[in-house]
Amino acid sequence: MLAAWGEPGGSDLDQSGAVDGADLGLLLAAWGECPVSGVEGRVVAYYIEWGTYGRDYQPADIPYDKITHLNYAFADIGIDGRIAFFDEFAAIDKSFPGDTWDQPYRGLINQINNVHKPQHPHLKTMISVGGWTLSGGFSDIALTAESRSIFAESCVQFIRDYNFDGVDIDWEYPVEGGLASNVYRPEDGVNYSHLLQELRDQLDVAGEEDGVYYELSIAAPAGFDKVRHLECDRLGEILDFINVMTYDLRGAWDLSKTGHHSPLFMNPAEPGDPEIVEKYTVDFALRQFLDEGVDPAKLVMGIPFYGRAWGGVVDSENGGLFAAAGSVPAGTWDDWSSGATGVNDFDAGATGRDGIVQLLASGSYTRYWDDVAKVPYLYSPTEFGGHFVSYEDEESLGHKLAYLQNLGLGGVMYWEITADRDEALVDLIAESVMVD
Protein backbone atom coordinates (compact mmCIF):
# COMPACT_ATOMS: atom_id res chain seq x y z
CA MET A 1 0.00 0.00 0.00
CA LEU A 2 2.74 2.45 0.92
CA ALA A 3 4.67 1.61 -2.24
CA ALA A 4 1.58 2.46 -4.33
CA TRP A 5 0.76 5.69 -2.42
CA GLY A 6 -0.88 8.32 -4.61
CA GLU A 7 -1.39 5.93 -7.52
CA PRO A 8 -4.34 3.74 -8.69
CA GLY A 9 -4.14 0.00 -8.21
CA GLY A 10 -5.13 -3.01 -6.16
CA SER A 11 -4.52 -1.22 -2.83
CA ASP A 12 -7.09 1.45 -3.69
CA LEU A 13 -9.64 -0.16 -1.37
CA ASP A 14 -12.29 2.54 -1.63
CA GLN A 15 -11.90 2.81 -5.42
CA SER A 16 -11.33 6.58 -5.22
CA GLY A 17 -8.72 6.49 -7.98
CA ALA A 18 -5.63 6.69 -5.79
CA VAL A 19 -4.15 4.97 -2.74
CA ASP A 20 -4.41 7.41 0.18
CA GLY A 21 -5.19 7.80 3.85
CA ALA A 22 -8.76 6.59 3.46
CA ASP A 23 -7.46 3.25 2.16
CA LEU A 24 -5.00 3.01 5.06
CA GLY A 25 -7.92 3.61 7.44
CA LEU A 26 -9.87 0.74 5.87
CA LEU A 27 -6.85 -1.50 6.20
CA LEU A 28 -6.32 -0.68 9.86
CA ALA A 29 -10.03 -1.03 10.65
CA ALA A 30 -9.93 -4.59 9.29
CA TRP A 31 -6.77 -5.54 11.19
CA GLY A 32 -6.88 -8.96 12.83
CA GLU A 33 -8.56 -12.22 11.92
CA CYS A 34 -9.57 -12.49 8.28
CA PRO A 35 -13.34 -12.51 7.70
CA VAL A 36 -14.95 -15.51 6.08
CA SER A 37 -15.17 -14.95 2.35
CA GLY A 38 -18.39 -15.33 0.38
CA VAL A 39 -16.54 -17.35 -2.28
CA GLU A 40 -18.22 -20.68 -2.99
CA GLY A 41 -15.20 -22.12 -4.72
CA ARG A 42 -16.49 -22.59 -8.28
CA VAL A 43 -13.88 -23.36 -10.92
CA VAL A 44 -15.67 -23.47 -14.26
CA ALA A 45 -13.66 -24.79 -17.23
CA TYR A 46 -14.83 -24.78 -20.82
CA TYR A 47 -13.96 -27.81 -22.93
CA ILE A 48 -14.10 -27.20 -26.68
CA GLU A 49 -15.66 -29.93 -28.81
CA TRP A 50 -13.19 -29.34 -31.65
CA GLY A 51 -10.28 -29.90 -29.26
CA THR A 52 -10.59 -33.62 -29.98
CA TYR A 53 -9.20 -33.10 -33.50
CA GLY A 54 -6.02 -31.17 -34.33
CA ARG A 55 -5.36 -30.19 -30.74
CA ASP A 56 -5.69 -33.84 -29.70
CA TYR A 57 -6.94 -32.90 -26.24
CA GLN A 58 -9.24 -35.71 -25.19
CA PRO A 59 -11.58 -36.18 -22.20
CA ALA A 60 -8.92 -38.28 -20.44
CA ASP A 61 -6.63 -35.21 -20.46
CA ILE A 62 -9.05 -33.02 -18.46
CA PRO A 63 -7.90 -32.41 -14.84
CA TYR A 64 -11.28 -33.18 -13.31
CA ASP A 65 -9.98 -32.96 -9.75
CA LYS A 66 -8.98 -29.32 -10.32
CA ILE A 67 -12.38 -28.01 -11.45
CA THR A 68 -15.92 -27.98 -10.09
CA HIS A 69 -17.81 -27.44 -13.36
CA LEU A 70 -17.05 -28.48 -16.92
CA ASN A 71 -18.92 -26.62 -19.64
CA TYR A 72 -19.10 -28.59 -22.91
CA ALA A 73 -18.86 -26.08 -25.78
CA PHE A 74 -20.96 -25.87 -27.81
CA ALA A 75 -24.43 -27.06 -28.66
CA ASP A 76 -26.31 -25.29 -31.45
CA ILE A 77 -29.91 -24.16 -31.97
CA GLY A 78 -31.73 -26.07 -34.70
CA ILE A 79 -34.06 -24.59 -37.28
CA ASP A 80 -36.91 -26.04 -35.21
CA GLY A 81 -35.90 -23.89 -32.23
CA ARG A 82 -34.56 -26.81 -30.21
CA ILE A 83 -31.10 -27.52 -28.88
CA ALA A 84 -29.02 -29.39 -31.46
CA PHE A 85 -25.59 -30.91 -31.82
CA PHE A 86 -22.95 -28.85 -33.57
CA ASP A 87 -20.61 -31.77 -34.38
CA GLU A 88 -22.66 -34.89 -33.75
CA PHE A 89 -19.80 -37.22 -34.66
CA ALA A 90 -17.46 -35.76 -32.03
CA ALA A 91 -20.23 -35.44 -29.47
CA ILE A 92 -21.81 -38.91 -29.51
CA ASP A 93 -20.36 -41.06 -32.32
CA LYS A 94 -16.56 -40.96 -32.11
CA SER A 95 -15.16 -44.17 -30.63
CA PHE A 96 -12.76 -44.29 -27.69
CA PRO A 97 -11.02 -47.25 -26.06
CA GLY A 98 -13.58 -49.36 -24.17
CA ASP A 99 -16.53 -48.32 -26.31
CA THR A 100 -18.79 -51.03 -27.72
CA TRP A 101 -20.99 -51.12 -30.79
CA ASP A 102 -24.21 -51.50 -28.84
CA GLN A 103 -23.92 -48.77 -26.20
CA PRO A 104 -26.52 -45.95 -26.37
CA TYR A 105 -23.97 -43.35 -27.51
CA ARG A 106 -20.24 -42.86 -27.64
CA GLY A 107 -18.19 -39.74 -28.31
CA LEU A 108 -16.88 -36.99 -26.09
CA ILE A 109 -20.09 -36.69 -24.10
CA ASN A 110 -20.09 -40.35 -23.12
CA GLN A 111 -16.44 -40.14 -22.11
CA ILE A 112 -16.96 -37.04 -19.99
CA ASN A 113 -20.32 -37.81 -18.39
CA ASN A 114 -20.33 -41.60 -18.12
CA VAL A 115 -16.67 -42.62 -17.94
CA HIS A 116 -14.86 -39.83 -16.09
CA LYS A 117 -17.54 -37.96 -14.12
CA PRO A 118 -18.47 -40.98 -11.97
CA GLN A 119 -14.87 -41.03 -10.73
CA HIS A 120 -15.21 -37.40 -9.59
CA PRO A 121 -18.50 -37.06 -7.70
CA HIS A 122 -17.88 -33.37 -6.93
CA LEU A 123 -17.98 -32.49 -10.64
CA LYS A 124 -20.92 -30.86 -12.43
CA THR A 125 -21.11 -30.87 -16.21
CA MET A 126 -23.09 -28.31 -18.19
CA ILE A 127 -24.07 -28.24 -21.84
CA SER A 128 -23.16 -24.79 -23.13
CA VAL A 129 -25.40 -23.50 -25.94
CA GLY A 130 -24.35 -20.83 -28.41
CA GLY A 131 -20.99 -19.10 -28.30
CA TRP A 132 -19.61 -16.60 -30.79
CA THR A 133 -20.46 -18.59 -33.92
CA LEU A 134 -23.75 -20.24 -32.84
CA SER A 135 -25.73 -17.36 -31.32
CA GLY A 136 -27.73 -16.47 -34.41
CA GLY A 137 -30.90 -18.25 -33.29
CA PHE A 138 -31.27 -16.88 -29.77
CA SER A 139 -33.35 -13.82 -30.61
CA ASP A 140 -35.95 -16.00 -32.34
CA ILE A 141 -36.21 -18.64 -29.62
CA ALA A 142 -36.47 -15.96 -26.93
CA LEU A 143 -39.19 -14.06 -28.76
CA THR A 144 -42.43 -15.77 -27.65
CA ALA A 145 -43.68 -17.85 -24.74
CA GLU A 146 -44.17 -20.77 -27.13
CA SER A 147 -40.67 -20.62 -28.62
CA ARG A 148 -39.13 -20.27 -25.17
CA SER A 149 -41.05 -23.27 -23.90
CA ILE A 150 -40.04 -25.43 -26.87
CA PHE A 151 -36.36 -24.59 -26.44
CA ALA A 152 -36.42 -25.13 -22.67
CA GLU A 153 -38.20 -28.48 -23.04
CA SER A 154 -35.57 -29.61 -25.53
CA CYS A 155 -32.76 -28.63 -23.15
CA VAL A 156 -34.33 -30.61 -20.32
CA GLN A 157 -34.61 -33.66 -22.56
CA PHE A 158 -31.02 -33.20 -23.75
CA ILE A 159 -29.47 -33.13 -20.27
CA ARG A 160 -31.57 -36.11 -19.24
CA ASP A 161 -30.55 -38.06 -22.34
CA TYR A 162 -26.85 -37.31 -22.01
CA ASN A 163 -26.37 -37.10 -18.24
CA PHE A 164 -25.56 -33.40 -17.85
CA ASP A 165 -26.10 -31.52 -14.59
CA GLY A 166 -27.33 -28.29 -16.10
CA VAL A 167 -27.40 -25.77 -18.92
CA ASP A 168 -25.10 -22.85 -19.68
CA ILE A 169 -26.39 -20.24 -22.15
CA ASP A 170 -23.82 -18.24 -24.13
CA TRP A 171 -25.75 -15.66 -26.15
CA GLU A 172 -23.29 -13.32 -27.86
CA TYR A 173 -25.08 -10.90 -27.67
CA PRO A 174 -28.63 -9.61 -27.09
CA VAL A 175 -29.54 -6.41 -28.98
CA GLU A 176 -26.09 -5.69 -30.47
CA GLY A 177 -22.59 -7.10 -30.90
CA GLY A 178 -21.66 -10.56 -32.12
CA LEU A 179 -21.75 -11.72 -35.74
CA ALA A 180 -23.36 -9.47 -38.31
CA SER A 181 -25.42 -12.44 -39.51
CA ASN A 182 -27.13 -12.83 -36.11
CA VAL A 183 -30.77 -11.82 -35.64
CA TYR A 184 -31.17 -8.82 -33.31
CA ARG A 185 -34.18 -7.13 -31.72
CA PRO A 186 -34.40 -4.15 -29.31
CA GLU A 187 -36.36 -6.35 -26.89
CA ASP A 188 -33.67 -9.08 -26.76
CA GLY A 189 -32.53 -8.10 -23.27
CA VAL A 190 -35.99 -8.46 -21.73
CA ASN A 191 -36.68 -11.60 -23.74
CA TYR A 192 -33.42 -13.09 -22.48
CA SER A 193 -34.73 -12.85 -18.93
CA HIS A 194 -37.97 -14.52 -20.00
CA LEU A 195 -36.05 -17.31 -21.75
CA LEU A 196 -33.86 -17.97 -18.71
CA GLN A 197 -36.87 -17.92 -16.40
CA GLU A 198 -38.58 -20.53 -18.59
CA LEU A 199 -35.45 -22.65 -18.49
CA ARG A 200 -35.24 -22.27 -14.71
CA ASP A 201 -38.88 -23.27 -14.27
CA GLN A 202 -38.62 -26.35 -16.47
CA LEU A 203 -35.30 -27.41 -14.92
CA ASP A 204 -36.89 -27.15 -11.48
CA VAL A 205 -39.82 -29.35 -12.50
CA ALA A 206 -37.46 -31.89 -14.04
CA GLY A 207 -35.24 -31.80 -10.98
CA GLU A 208 -38.18 -32.54 -8.71
CA GLU A 209 -39.12 -35.50 -10.89
CA ASP A 210 -35.52 -36.79 -11.09
CA GLY A 211 -34.55 -36.13 -7.47
CA VAL A 212 -31.67 -33.82 -8.41
CA TYR A 213 -30.99 -30.11 -8.81
CA TYR A 214 -30.20 -28.92 -12.33
CA GLU A 215 -28.04 -25.80 -12.51
CA LEU A 216 -28.42 -22.86 -14.87
CA SER A 217 -25.72 -20.35 -15.77
CA ILE A 218 -24.79 -17.96 -18.56
CA ALA A 219 -21.63 -16.61 -20.11
CA ALA A 220 -22.21 -12.88 -19.80
CA PRO A 221 -20.57 -10.02 -21.70
CA ALA A 222 -18.09 -7.73 -19.99
CA GLY A 223 -18.44 -4.64 -22.20
CA PHE A 224 -20.66 -1.92 -20.75
CA ASP A 225 -22.22 -1.34 -24.17
CA LYS A 226 -23.56 -4.91 -24.12
CA VAL A 227 -24.29 -5.30 -20.39
CA ARG A 228 -26.60 -2.26 -20.52
CA HIS A 229 -29.13 -4.36 -22.45
CA LEU A 230 -29.35 -7.02 -19.73
CA GLU A 231 -31.69 -7.06 -16.73
CA CYS A 232 -28.81 -7.88 -14.41
CA ASP A 233 -30.88 -7.86 -11.23
CA ARG A 234 -33.34 -10.38 -12.69
CA LEU A 235 -30.53 -12.54 -14.02
CA GLY A 236 -29.00 -12.59 -10.57
CA GLU A 237 -32.25 -13.97 -9.17
CA ILE A 238 -32.85 -16.58 -11.90
CA LEU A 239 -29.35 -17.99 -12.39
CA ASP A 240 -27.16 -20.13 -10.17
CA PHE A 241 -24.12 -18.17 -11.34
CA ILE A 242 -22.96 -15.76 -14.02
CA ASN A 243 -19.68 -16.33 -15.86
CA VAL A 244 -18.48 -12.87 -16.90
CA MET A 245 -16.27 -13.00 -20.00
CA THR A 246 -13.68 -10.54 -18.72
CA TYR A 247 -11.38 -10.88 -21.69
CA ASP A 248 -11.24 -9.90 -25.39
CA LEU A 249 -11.47 -6.29 -24.25
CA ARG A 250 -8.80 -5.31 -26.80
CA GLY A 251 -7.68 -7.15 -29.93
CA ALA A 252 -6.15 -6.92 -33.38
CA TRP A 253 -9.52 -6.06 -34.91
CA ASP A 254 -8.27 -2.56 -33.96
CA LEU A 255 -4.80 -1.97 -35.43
CA SER A 256 -4.65 1.67 -34.32
CA LYS A 257 -2.98 0.60 -31.07
CA THR A 258 -2.00 -2.42 -29.05
CA GLY A 259 -3.45 -2.95 -25.59
CA HIS A 260 -4.35 -5.35 -22.81
CA HIS A 261 -7.16 -7.76 -23.61
CA SER A 262 -7.93 -8.53 -19.94
CA PRO A 263 -6.61 -5.66 -17.77
CA LEU A 264 -7.60 -5.75 -14.12
CA PHE A 265 -7.53 -1.95 -13.88
CA MET A 266 -7.43 0.92 -16.34
CA ASN A 267 -4.12 2.51 -17.32
CA PRO A 268 -4.70 6.27 -17.72
CA ALA A 269 -1.75 6.41 -20.13
CA GLU A 270 -3.72 4.44 -22.74
CA PRO A 271 -4.75 6.66 -25.67
CA GLY A 272 -8.11 6.44 -27.37
CA ASP A 273 -11.76 6.68 -26.37
CA PRO A 274 -11.78 7.64 -22.67
CA GLU A 275 -14.91 5.59 -22.02
CA ILE A 276 -13.31 2.44 -23.46
CA VAL A 277 -10.10 3.09 -21.53
CA GLU A 278 -12.02 3.49 -18.27
CA LYS A 279 -14.70 0.85 -18.64
CA TYR A 280 -13.12 -1.97 -20.64
CA THR A 281 -11.42 -3.49 -17.59
CA VAL A 282 -12.06 -6.53 -15.43
CA ASP A 283 -12.75 -4.31 -12.43
CA PHE A 284 -15.38 -2.21 -14.19
CA ALA A 285 -16.99 -5.22 -15.86
CA LEU A 286 -17.56 -7.03 -12.58
CA ARG A 287 -18.62 -3.96 -10.63
CA GLN A 288 -21.39 -3.13 -13.09
CA PHE A 289 -23.08 -6.44 -12.21
CA LEU A 290 -22.52 -5.84 -8.49
CA ASP A 291 -23.91 -2.31 -8.79
CA GLU A 292 -27.06 -3.77 -10.38
CA GLY A 293 -27.60 -5.94 -7.31
CA VAL A 294 -26.13 -9.30 -8.36
CA ASP A 295 -25.06 -11.36 -5.35
CA PRO A 296 -21.22 -11.43 -5.35
CA ALA A 297 -21.31 -15.17 -4.62
CA LYS A 298 -23.09 -15.69 -7.97
CA LEU A 299 -20.54 -13.72 -9.96
CA VAL A 300 -17.74 -15.72 -11.59
CA MET A 301 -14.65 -14.01 -13.02
CA GLY A 302 -13.53 -15.05 -16.50
CA ILE A 303 -9.83 -15.77 -17.07
CA PRO A 304 -8.27 -16.12 -20.53
CA PHE A 305 -5.92 -19.04 -21.10
CA TYR A 306 -4.74 -17.37 -24.30
CA GLY A 307 -3.22 -14.15 -25.53
CA ARG A 308 -4.22 -11.66 -28.19
CA ALA A 309 -1.49 -10.35 -30.46
CA TRP A 310 -0.70 -7.64 -32.97
CA GLY A 311 1.93 -7.71 -35.74
CA GLY A 312 3.82 -4.88 -37.42
CA VAL A 313 4.39 -3.09 -34.12
CA VAL A 314 7.55 -1.18 -35.03
CA ASP A 315 7.60 1.20 -32.09
CA SER A 316 9.50 -0.82 -29.50
CA GLU A 317 9.48 1.88 -26.81
CA ASN A 318 8.09 0.27 -23.64
CA GLY A 319 7.68 -3.00 -25.50
CA GLY A 320 5.20 -1.66 -28.01
CA LEU A 321 2.45 -0.98 -25.45
CA PHE A 322 -0.26 1.28 -26.91
CA ALA A 323 1.70 1.53 -30.18
CA ALA A 324 0.24 1.33 -33.68
CA ALA A 325 0.16 -2.08 -35.38
CA GLY A 326 0.12 -3.16 -38.98
CA SER A 327 -1.20 -6.72 -39.14
CA VAL A 328 -2.90 -9.64 -37.46
CA PRO A 329 -0.21 -12.30 -36.79
CA ALA A 330 -0.69 -16.06 -36.91
CA GLY A 331 -1.84 -17.73 -33.70
CA THR A 332 -1.12 -21.09 -32.11
CA TRP A 333 -3.69 -23.14 -34.00
CA ASP A 334 -4.27 -21.09 -37.13
CA ASP A 335 -4.62 -22.91 -40.44
CA TRP A 336 -6.03 -22.40 -43.91
CA SER A 337 -9.60 -22.30 -42.61
CA SER A 338 -9.10 -19.85 -39.74
CA GLY A 339 -6.60 -17.48 -41.29
CA ALA A 340 -4.46 -15.38 -38.98
CA THR A 341 -6.20 -14.81 -35.64
CA GLY A 342 -3.47 -13.42 -33.37
CA VAL A 343 -4.63 -15.85 -30.67
CA ASN A 344 -1.93 -17.80 -28.81
CA ASP A 345 -2.52 -20.52 -26.21
CA PHE A 346 -0.90 -19.82 -22.87
CA ASP A 347 0.96 -23.15 -22.90
CA ALA A 348 0.89 -25.47 -25.91
CA GLY A 349 3.01 -28.04 -24.06
CA ALA A 350 4.66 -30.67 -26.24
CA THR A 351 2.44 -30.04 -29.28
CA GLY A 352 5.22 -28.15 -31.04
CA ARG A 353 2.98 -25.11 -31.37
CA ASP A 354 3.78 -21.54 -30.32
CA GLY A 355 2.07 -20.98 -27.02
CA ILE A 356 3.09 -18.00 -24.93
CA VAL A 357 5.25 -20.17 -22.67
CA GLN A 358 6.99 -21.44 -25.81
CA LEU A 359 7.45 -17.93 -27.23
CA LEU A 360 9.16 -16.86 -24.04
CA ALA A 361 11.40 -19.91 -24.08
CA SER A 362 12.50 -19.16 -27.66
CA GLY A 363 14.60 -16.22 -26.51
CA SER A 364 13.08 -13.88 -29.11
CA TYR A 365 10.62 -12.24 -26.73
CA THR A 366 10.86 -9.95 -23.72
CA ARG A 367 8.24 -10.00 -20.99
CA TYR A 368 7.01 -6.61 -19.74
CA TRP A 369 4.73 -5.77 -16.81
CA ASP A 370 2.12 -2.99 -16.57
CA ASP A 371 1.97 -2.30 -12.84
CA VAL A 372 -1.08 -0.07 -13.22
CA ALA A 373 -3.27 -2.51 -15.18
CA LYS A 374 -1.64 -5.47 -13.34
CA VAL A 375 -1.06 -7.55 -16.48
CA PRO A 376 1.96 -8.70 -18.53
CA TYR A 377 2.74 -8.52 -22.22
CA LEU A 378 5.40 -9.82 -24.61
CA TYR A 379 7.28 -8.03 -27.36
CA SER A 380 9.60 -9.23 -30.08
CA PRO A 381 11.05 -6.64 -32.49
CA THR A 382 11.93 -9.36 -35.03
CA GLU A 383 8.89 -11.67 -35.20
CA PHE A 384 5.93 -10.67 -37.43
CA GLY A 385 7.57 -7.30 -38.03
CA GLY A 386 7.22 -6.50 -34.33
CA HIS A 387 5.06 -8.89 -32.30
CA PHE A 388 3.06 -7.66 -29.28
CA VAL A 389 1.14 -10.23 -27.20
CA SER A 390 -1.28 -9.42 -24.35
CA TYR A 391 -1.88 -12.38 -22.07
CA GLU A 392 -2.46 -13.76 -18.56
CA ASP A 393 0.26 -15.36 -16.43
CA GLU A 394 0.76 -16.45 -12.84
CA GLU A 395 1.55 -12.93 -11.61
CA SER A 396 -1.48 -11.24 -13.14
CA LEU A 397 -3.67 -14.18 -12.15
CA GLY A 398 -2.49 -13.78 -8.56
CA HIS A 399 -3.72 -10.17 -8.54
CA LYS A 400 -7.09 -11.23 -9.96
CA LEU A 401 -7.50 -14.02 -7.43
CA ALA A 402 -6.78 -11.60 -4.58
CA TYR A 403 -9.33 -9.20 -6.08
CA LEU A 404 -11.88 -12.04 -6.27
CA GLN A 405 -11.35 -12.87 -2.61
CA ASN A 406 -11.61 -9.22 -1.56
CA LEU A 407 -15.02 -8.88 -3.22
CA GLY A 408 -16.27 -12.31 -2.15
CA LEU A 409 -16.96 -13.39 -5.72
CA GLY A 410 -18.25 -16.85 -6.57
CA GLY A 411 -15.21 -18.26 -8.32
CA VAL A 412 -13.35 -18.41 -11.61
CA MET A 413 -14.27 -19.46 -15.13
CA TYR A 414 -11.67 -19.95 -17.82
CA TRP A 415 -11.64 -20.23 -21.56
CA GLU A 416 -10.45 -22.84 -22.21
CA ILE A 417 -8.96 -25.98 -20.69
CA THR A 418 -6.94 -27.17 -23.72
CA ALA A 419 -4.78 -24.02 -23.71
CA ASP A 420 -2.78 -24.70 -20.52
CA ARG A 421 -1.15 -28.06 -21.17
CA ASP A 422 1.23 -28.06 -18.19
CA GLU A 423 -1.53 -26.62 -15.96
CA ALA A 424 0.37 -23.80 -14.26
CA LEU A 425 -2.69 -21.52 -14.35
CA VAL A 426 -5.05 -24.45 -13.72
CA ASP A 427 -3.13 -25.35 -10.56
CA LEU A 428 -2.99 -21.79 -9.23
CA ILE A 429 -6.74 -21.37 -9.65
CA ALA A 430 -7.56 -24.71 -8.05
CA GLU A 431 -5.31 -24.04 -5.06
CA SER A 432 -6.74 -20.56 -4.53
CA VAL A 433 -10.44 -21.04 -5.24
CA MET A 434 -11.53 -24.62 -4.67
CA VAL A 435 -12.60 -25.54 -1.15
CA ASP A 436 -11.71 -28.94 0.30
Q: What are the residue numbers of the active site? A: 172
Reduced 3-state DSSP string for the chain: CCCCECCCCCCCCCCCCCECHHHHHHHHHCCCCCCCCCCCCEEEEEEEHHHHCCCCCCHHHCCHHHCCEEEEEEEEECCCCCEECCCHHHHHHCCCCCCCCCCCCCHHHHHHHHHHHHHCCCCEEEEEEECCCCCCCHHHHCCCHHHHHHHHHHHHHHHHHHCCCEEEEECCCCCCCCCCCCCCCCCHHHHHHHHHHHHHHHHHHHHHHHCCCCEEEEEECCCHHHHCCCCHHHHHHHCCEEEECCCCCCCCCCCCCCCCCCCCCCCCCCCCCHHHHHHCCHHHHHHHHHHCCCCHHHEEEEEECEEEEEECCCCCHHHHCCCCCCECCCCCCCCCCCCCCCEEECECHHHCCCCHHHHHHCCCCEEEEECCCCEEEEEECCHHHCEEEECCCHHHHHHHHHHHHHHCCCEEEEECHHHECCCHHHHHHHHHHCCC
Angle 188-210/145-162 helices, nearest 10 degrees? 40
Nearest to 148 by CA among 166, 128, 179, 169: 169
Reduced 3-state DSSP string for 297-341: HHEEEEEECEEEEEECCCCCHHHHCCCCCCECCCCCCCCCCCCCC
Look up residue 78 and give its amino acid.
G
Evaluate whether 311 touches 326 at the Cβ level (below 8 Å).
Answer: yes
Residue positions counted in the chain: 436
